[in-house]
A and B are shown apart, each in its own frame.
Chain A
């Protein structure tokens, strides 16, 4: 089949597209705000002395994990439709990543 490159000369969105756009924008902005907050909390937790070391480490790791989910699922749209293979690929990457980190950081002496 011949696929022509379609020029987007029609600049008006349909009503459904407008609604979808507004919802999407809200989601993105809220996620951004969350990520800023998570970042501030992480830095604040370390900079102050309210928690002991172990808790600080755990908190930082958890906050990083949550930010990761926001970036990947919202900013990168992995939470939307037709992202099955990207999802499998990234999570497999995460598993391999954990193996590498456990090996190089943990199985040495």
Chain B
């Protein structure tokens, strides 16, 4: 059956095939596992956050304005990925691609600011090998950052590969999964800015 003939087009193309449904469930389970993964890192950080071994403390280090900007950037990027999927609902492939490109740009901006922040901190004496607090801080934030970077790579790959392809039930799950993953890393950031930065500044 040729795809040019009009057939009932699924409203939720990402779930219209068995493969799509399997991928959907698989990614959700993966995210549940990642919840346990990041929780362990959070636990380690919270346990070690006062062990600064003479180096700078959280209160001395953290710059709330910068973190606020980073938070808004990531939150907006989460919204733009929602808009990308809403474009998919409208069967608007160009819109989907456009919003995902914006998402990646915002993600890269977030990463750039985070790298800048880390460099500043190392100059102030907050170094990975200096104290348990620093080791825990950089590992937690670094793992999150690595996940953001992976997400940027993933979405970029999908955008480039599918730039000239029409939306169909093979491609839709791929983009849907990428957006779910992107939301998840924003969820993790919510807890990072709350438990690391805000709690760190409170003391």
Q: Do A and B bind each other?
A: yes
Contact bitstring B8-22, A, C-beta under 8 A = 1, else 0 = 011101011111000
Q: Which residue of B lies closest to A75 (CB)?
A: B183
Q: Which residue of A lies closest to B49 (CB)?
A: A105
- Tell me, rounded to whole Å, the shortest Cβ–Cβ distance linking B81 to chain A: 8
Q: Which residue of A lies closest to B200 (CB)?
A: A46
Q: Is the CB of B190 within 8 A of A68?
A: yes
Which residues of chain B have C-beta atoms less than 8 A from A86's C-beta?
25, 28, 32
Which residues of chain B have C-beta atoms less than 8 A from A96's C-beta?
35-36, 39
The number of residues on chain B lying at the interface, defined by a beta carbon within 8 Å of a beta carbon of chain A, is: 66
Docked complex Cα distance between A76 and B35 (Å): 15
Total CB contacts across the A-B interface at under 8 A: 170
Q: Is the CB of A101 within 8 A of B43?
A: yes
Answer yes or no: B150 CB below 8 A from chain A CBs: no
Q: Is the CB of B199 within 8 A of A60?
A: yes
Q: Is the CB of B40 within 8 A of A104?
A: yes
- Tell me, rounded to whole Å, the shortest Cβ–Cβ distance linking A81 to chain B: 10
Interface size class of A (residues with CB under 8 A): 35 or more
Q: Which residue of A lies closest to B24 (CB)?
A: A86
Answer yes or no: A57 CB below 8 A from chain B CBs: yes
Docked complex Cα distance between A44 and B33 (Å): 33
Report if A75-B78 is in contact (Cβ < 8 Å); known contacts: A5-B3, A10-B6, A60-B194.
Answer: yes
Q: Which residues of A come within 8 Å of B, CB atoms? A: 3-11, 13, 17, 21, 24-25, 28, 32, 35-36, 39, 42-43, 46-47, 53, 56-57, 60-61, 63-64, 67-68, 71-72, 75-76, 82, 85-86, 89-90, 92-94, 96-98, 100-106, 108
Q: Which residues of B come within 8 Å of A, CB atoms? A: 1, 3-4, 6-7, 9-11, 13, 15-19, 25, 28-29, 31-36, 38-40, 42-44, 46-47, 64, 68, 71-72, 75, 78-79, 82-83, 86, 89-92, 166-170, 172, 180, 183-184, 186-187, 190-191, 193-195, 198-199, 201-203
Starting from the known contacts A5-B169, A67-B190, A85-B28, 11 additional A-B residue pairs (CB-CB under 8 Å) come to A6-B169, A8-B169, A17-B89, A39-B68, A46-B201, A46-B202, A76-B184, A82-B15, A90-B32, A97-B36, A108-B47
